[in-house]
Amino acid sequence: MIAVNGKGGTGKTTISALFIDALISQKKGALLAIDADPNSCLADSLGINSPQTIVGICEEVSRNMDKIPSGMTKDRFIEMKVQEALVENRDFDMLVMGRPEGPGCYCYVNSLLRNIIDKISSNYDFVVIDNAAGMEHISRRTMRGMSSLVVVSDYSIAGVRSAKKIYDLAKELGIKIGNAFLVINKVAGPIENIADEIKATGLAVAGTVPHEQALIDWNISNRPVFELDSAAVKNTITGILRKITEVKNADRITEGKI
């Protein structure tokens, strides 16, 4: 389970989509993509148009309580409907959270999402979760545990410091993390310029993604990530993903190492 996080604007959804593309290309096994960001941008990046959302299902059930079968709880009925709404593609399956209408709904959907992830993740070899920007899902404990936490920062001191806050909060809340990594995105200069800030995060650096024109063009193209035409970017992501998936808990990468 690879959970991707980062403050808004760092490109965490792009990195999540590229991870999914790389896992598919390498035929790593059964893959589940979870768009846990209320903005639901990952679905667009993967070419999924207007998917049914967990929020939409919750709201529909709440409006039609009389349709819940006798002897079945609301939560169990919603869980069943969510599993029925799982988007099934040839190379991956997908769940989309959607945007809740209010704080009460948000808390309920987060709890539901957490339980669903726990139950269905065992059916997949890989689960990639694109989380809400910042620390929202970590603070609400959407995930009880993950194999890898990948925090994305852009090429800035503010981005790296934000990554540290996200990682620190995850540790404070006691969330089980197999390994934690930092990916620096949109790199447009020497990484040594922010080396001290990176070291202070305590995160192992999985790699850096250059500020490539190909990525800029793709982000304004409205095309799925699978159509990104850049061997350089895809090779970079493959290398990052290899570090993330092959490192063992007993043989961790040195924290903060560039």
CATH number of the domain to which 217 belongs: 3.40.50.300
CA distance 200 to 208: 17
108: nearest Cα among 153, 148, 81, 74: 74
56 assigned to some structural domain = no
pLDDT at 228 over 90: yes
The structure's pTM equals 0.87
Reported as a single tens digit per residue, the pLDDT across 88-135 is: 999 999 999 887 665 555 667 667 767 777 778 888 999 999 987 765
116 assigned to some structural domain = yes
In total, how many domains does the chain have? 1
54 assigned to some structural domain = no
63 assigned to some structural domain = no
- pLDDT value for 61: 86
Structural domain containing residue 20: 2-47+86-98+112-251
CA angle 19, 24, 30 (to 5 degrees): 105
CA distance 81 to 76: 9
Residue-averaged pLDDT of the chain: 85
81 assigned to some structural domain = no
